[in-house]
A and B are shown apart, each in its own frame.
Chain A
Amino acid sequence: MTQPSSSKWSLRQRLTAMLFSLVLSLWGLSAAVIYVQAENESQELFDMAISETASLLLFLSEHELLEVGDNKIAGHDYAEQTGTEHYLSFQLWDTNGTLRYRSANAPNNPLAPLTEEGFGWKNNDGEIIRTFNLLDSNKLLRIIVAEPLVHRQEISAHFFGGLFLFSLVLLPVGYLGVRLIVSKAFSPVKRCVDEVNRLDSRNLNQIDLNDLPQEIEPLLHALNSAIKRIQAGVVREKRFTADAAHELRTPLAGVKANVQLLQKISAPLNTTQQEVMEDALEGVDRCSRMINQLLALSKSDSLAAKLAPQEVLDIRKIISDVFILERVRAEAKDVSLTLSMDDSSQQSLKLESIVLKGYPTAIELLIRNLVNNAITYHRNHGSVIVRVQCLLSTENSCQGKVRISVLDDGLGIPENQRAQIFNRFFRVNPNQTRGSGLGLSICHEVAELHGTKITVTDGINGQGLGFVLELTGELTQ
């Protein structure tokens, strides 16, 4: 029925966001743990590699020194032989502190303090290196193997890059998965919304509570009991109207019956007596008209009226019915009743091609009240015209408007009083007591019930009074 406005938040979106951030943070955390773990493991692995290398080199160097003698080793650069660049560098020192041998990429000064054994870090002009310092078993030779940290970092970066790429692929998949799961979890809610949306005046049923999650069941329970209360209210209102009608009409019937009896049994009556009795009967009739109007008003006001199904309106028939009902009164005052169907105002638009929906009895009551007023407050000899015009809607191209005008050439109402005439119990002339003062108020209510308004205009040829009602309907095509 109503679209959720943008200021409202969506439970579904919120849940999706929360679940996704949870997934994201769990994933991030585990990635961090794995990264740190892998980093530690790889440190150890690298350390092991350089210590192995150191042991091997030391072993080989000892042999070489024993076999070949001192001189051959110093200054000999094996890197120059192989020609490839190596990330590892090493130095071979003897106990006297003489550099006996080094790799091409190793400096001449010690890579690590010659007094310490084992692993160490060294900052070599901004380049951080990992060193391993090993003394042979005879404590004659010392080997230092060094590996720049950059090498390790490169490998870590490689690993991290892989992880990042993987997550780039994985995260959208994760997001879609979370959305899918949330959608699935929310499908009963959507079903409920659909079911509640289907509720309207014709179909005020309880919502099926089967197969619903327990979270929204209480809400629907509450909704169902609200529906039940509305249904009970409608029934009560209908009964009240019927009861009120009964309670008000019964004593009136009693008064009327008694006056008529008196009239009959005391005949012949003189003129004064006859007049008094006629007045009494007129009072009863006015009172009963007032009750009818009040009941009509309460009906059009009521919830029950709004919940009743709308029907297709046959404007032509409604107006001709009103004319049949009002003909006698009109003839008595010599007022002509005319229906003017103004189809030609817009090429092909006919009354039949606009489907109007509403409450036929209410619309009939409205038009009848207007016609009745026009006749009642007319001086004798004149005319009342009901004009029906069909117009294309200016707002919506597939809608049409039916403009019904009830116009007379009677006494009219001064401009400054026109605003008040729809008020309940308002009378143009407070001294005249004919009407109930409710007729136009009922018309106003009926128009509102149909989502429109009645406007007051001048009557026929600028004389008298006119009322205009516009009803909107769909075009058939």
Chain B
Amino acid sequence: MRLLLIEDDPLIGKATQHFLVSEGYAVDWVTTGSDALLSVRTHEYATILLDLGLPDMDGHEVLGKIRRSGITTPILILTAREAVSDRIYNLDSGADDFIIKPFDLHEVCARIRVAIRRAQGRAEECLQVGAVSLLPSRRMALVNEIEISLTRREYMILYTLMSGEGKVFSRSQLEEALYGWGEEVESNSIEVHVHNLRKKLGKKIIETVHGIGYKTGSGVSE
């Protein structure tokens, strides 16, 4: 899952990025509206976090431009303005949610999960494929109710595939979801993570679609 963080304040931006990365997300952090617009055109994001006070343009303008270009990615507003009129205006101009500063990063994560879930049209928090269930709120994978420990990359690949509900993801799409800018991608890393996931959760959990990529399998262990 790749997130775009648009925040001009380095104090907030850096900490938020690190926190979200440690949660397993790939996070692109930009500090200007024009960089943000460039990023949304070149990458596909699971959620966009948008601060309203940007140096080069107003956050509302960025919001409007993203929505006018037909991108439906959930957008979460980070704002210090709490007036009801501001909130209504933001929601009406295409934002999906807003968080008032100073925010709690755990809450930000929860709201990101909600945004992703809603964008995928799911009402249930828990994802289920066969015997494998995934609890994004606790970043936990269970096989037959037994918790399986996963690295954050393994978790994120599983989260991406399971929330795709049988959709096929190419290797580069998975790399997109896993690695932010500036993160080194080893040539066979996806294969390694998939291999490890199969070892931990059973072979049937991920199917290889030859020449294209991966999708969730039946999940039934052998």
Contacts and interface: CB of A to CB of B under 8 A. Distances in A.
Interface of A: 242, 245-258, 260-261, 264-265, 284, 288
Contact of A257 (B11, B80, B82, B86): B11
Given A257-B11, A257-B15, A250 B101 contact: yes
B41 interface: no
Nearest to B10: A254
B88 to A, nearest CB: 15
Given A250-B9, A257-B16, A261-B18, A245 B81 contact: yes
B7 to A, nearest CB: 9
A253 B80 contact: yes
B22 A265 contact: yes
Listed residue (B16, B80, B81) with the most chain A CB atoms within 10 angstroms of its CB: B80
Interface residues of B, number: 23
Given A242-B81, A245-B80, A251-B11, A256 B22 contact: no
B102 A284 contact: yes
16 contacts: A242-B83, A246-B80, A249-B100, A249-B102, A253-B9, A253-B11, A253-B101, A254-B11, A256-B104, A257-B12, A257-B16, A257-B102, A260-B15, A261-B15, A261-B18, A264-B19
Contact of A253 (B12, B18, B19, B22): B12
Contacts of A253: 9, 11-12, 78, 80, 101-103
B12 A246 contact: no
Interface in B54-109: 78, 80-83, 86, 100-106
Nearest to B99: A253
Contacts of B78: 253
Contact of A264 (B9, B22, B100): B22
A258 B15 contact: yes
A251 B101 CA distance: 9
Contact of B103 (A251, A256, A261, A265): A256
Nearest to B83: A242
Contacts of A258: 11, 14-15
B139 to A, nearest CB: 12
Contacts of B86: 242
Contacts of B101: 249-250, 252-253
B21 to A, nearest CB: 10
Contacts, number: 71
A362 B53 CA distance: 28
Contacts of B22: 261, 264-265
A341 B117 CA distance: 44
A449 B18 CA distance: 46
A240 B12 CA distance: 23
A261 B19 contact: yes
A253 B15 CA distance: 10
A252 B103 CA distance: 9
B104 to A, nearest CB: 7
A246 B11 contact: no
B103 to A, nearest CB: 6
Nearest first, the 9 closest Cβ-Cβ pairs linking A and B are A254-B11, A257-B15, A253-B102, A253-B101, A249-B80, A246-B80, A252-B102, A258-B15, A249-B101
B81 A260 contact: no
Contacts of A254: 9, 11-12, 15
Contacts of A247: 80
B6 to A, nearest CB: 14
A250 B12 contact: yes
A245 B11 contact: no
B222 to A, nearest CB: 36
A309 B145 CA distance: 58
Contacts of B103: 253, 256-257
Interface string B136-153: 000000000000000000
A246 B58 CA distance: 14
A42 to B, nearest CB: 89
A288 B9 CA distance: 18
A257 B57 CA distance: 24
Interface string B1-30: 000000001011011101100100000000
